[in-house]
Amino acid sequence: MAKFFPMFSGSGGNSSYIGDSDGGVVVDIGVSYKRFKTALTSADIPLEAIKAVLITHEHTDHVKGLKVFLKNNPVPVIASRETVYALEFAGIMTYETPRIYLEGEDYELDGIRLTRFATSHDCVGSSGYVIELSGGTKVAVCTDLGVMTDCIKEKLCGCDLVMLESNHDPVMLRLGPYPAELKLRIASDKGHLPNAVCAETIAHLYEKGTCRFVLAHISKENNTPEKAASAARAALMDKGAKEGRDYILYIAEPEGSKIIPL
């Protein structure tokens, strides 16, 4: 049975598996290879099931374990050309590493269709992905973006499940412990999505047919899961949607999230 497993989420590391025990893809490996393997084992997912690793961008909390993973599992890395170049420059990938540049067109790998879309973050080539499994189920992973665009919304529409960043509460961010420069970065168009924008997007996607949502990359310092979920529920309530009847809302924990059947 196909599953979506948000293994890790947040500034401490990010990684998700989409597929079944026979084959699937991983989006990001932002924790140590040891922790990554342990998480897979807990979900009965063998390393051999991973057909490719999709990378959203080169920040450490998304690629920390990638170098060691690739030494032991020579599968293709899929990303924008700019992200691949950044990973090579950092010594995480070598020129011999198999890679697939995902730019304007979709790519099919072992019956899994992959679509990339550009996101606005403080690095070049930042990406989100839509993964369509062989049975037709579509899952989107969209985190680390400072602004939601109509183009991104269009890519997310029609997905069965969407993981979307609900990073911060603006008041908590403003009053929190971060230095002023970092606060400005997070709140900028190349930073992270606040709860309200995430909630507004979820309500829009619900009207377009999506009924399962995963709130991700929730800041420990500038947000709470309760605040993120409350904003999403309020926006969905405005659309007349009732939780458990019309939609399901999940929280991606920093580690050890529940496996979501697809």
pLDDT per residue as tens digits for the range 190-235: 999 999 999 999 999 999 999 999 999 999 999 999 999 999 999 9
Burial of 256 (0-12, 13-18, 19+ CB in 10 A): exposed
Strands 112-118, 107-109: pairing kind: antiparallel
For 115, the 3-state DSSP assignment is strand
In sequence order, which residues have a C-beta less than 8 Å from that of residue 185 and are 6 or more positions away?
Answer: 122, 191
In sequence order, which residues have a C-beta less than 8 Å from that of residue 260 and are 6 or more positions away?
Answer: 3, 4, 5, 6, 161, 212, 214, 250
- Mean per-residue pLDDT, 25-40: 98
- For residues 193 and 195, give the distance between their C-alpha atoms in angstroms, rounded to a whole number: 7
- Mean per-residue pLDDT, 230-255: 98
pLDDT value at 108 more than 90: yes
**pLDDT > 90: what percent of the chain?**
97
